[in-house]
Structure 1
């Protein structure tokens, strides 16, 4: 069994003026906050969107673990719907004034349709409107090949890079 080097980049934005906004231009794409917290929906989106990117850290969680995570007052969820279907989502997690884009992604059928920049712009805008002092996110070489470029295109800047070997 071989090992692979995975590079992880942490990116941040320290002012809302740094956002390079990409608006939603497709009238069939609507982004809405899930104001009624339902841990099962977070779990579904995590699995549905994350399976292609090897998101595995929460797959074994119990209902109680998911409930504690998803129904916490410091976590908010938005979903991008394309013609009524869940196309992507993001979770914002607040800690001491910093807002982390905890999860962000598009489902496979919607990648390459120009929706990622608009969804990320919405995530950053919502983070700032939640009174962020700083907005941050991390991505890695296991994510979509254009993930890092999308974050940078919206104005996020790399502040840390790490390389780890994984089996």
Structure 2
């Protein structure tokens, strides 16, 4: 089995003032919270955004595992739509210490390179900072953090840095190389 070297970068913001907003893209782009917990929809977003960049950790999850994730208090999924079609998503996961993690963020391949990603990330970070307003049992957000890796899209790290995230840790490890699954097994991209 062949391996690949993967570098993971951890980035954070420690104040809402750290956010540097991206310009809104042209066209009819709307960002809407997926308020109904739907494992089918969440798996669609995950597999469709991550299929060509080797997101595989959740592909084997059962329906119950997806439902358990979506039912966690404060977990939110915000979806960008281009003229009614899902273009990408950002998934927020609060932690008990006041941190909010951007668990997943990205665009479906057909929507990359159109300035939607910076806008969606800006919106997602704003929602991370005001998460306690929608989830009263959660503490106020003290920190927003994310990790990205060398397997992610080529513009991911630049987008995070342009939005005001700062690097706080880097890790490198060897991982088993996996076939790019595409949005569903055997599809390719």
TM band (smaller chain): over 0.9
Matched, 1:155 2:156: no
Structure 1: distance between partners of 2:68 and 2:62? 10
Residue 137 of structure 1 is matched in structure 2 by 146
Query: CA 1:2–1:25 in 2, change beyond 3 Å: closer, same or farther?
Result: closer
1:73-129 deviation digits (Å, cap 9, x = unpaired): 231011000011100001000011110000000000000111111010001100001
Map 1:12-91 → 2, pairs under 5 A: 12-91=12-91
Off by >4 Å, runs of 4+ in structure 1: none
The alpha carbon displacement at 1:3 in A equals 2.3
Write out aligned runs for 1:110-121 (5 A): 110-121=111-122
CA–CA distance in structure 2, aligned partners of residues 143 and 74 of structure 1: 25
1:8/1:163 contact within 8 Å kept: yes
Conservation of the 8 A alpha-carbon contact between 1:74 and 1:95? no
Residues 1:129 and 1:23: Cα distance change in structure 2 (over 3 Å):
farther
Residue 38 of structure 1 contacts residue 71 of structure 1 at CA under 8 Å; is this kept in 2? Answer: no
The CA distance in 2 between the partners of 1:38 and 1:124, in whole Å, is 22
TM-score (norm 2): 0.85
Contact 1:139 1:148 (8 Å CA) reproduced: yes
Deviation at 1:43, TM superposition (A): 1.1
User: TM-score scaled by structure 1?
Assistant: 0.96
Gaps of 5+ in 1: none
Query: For the residues of structure 1 that align with 2:85 and 2:145, how far apart are their CA atoms?
Result: 28
Aligned pairs, how many? 167
Higher strand share: 1
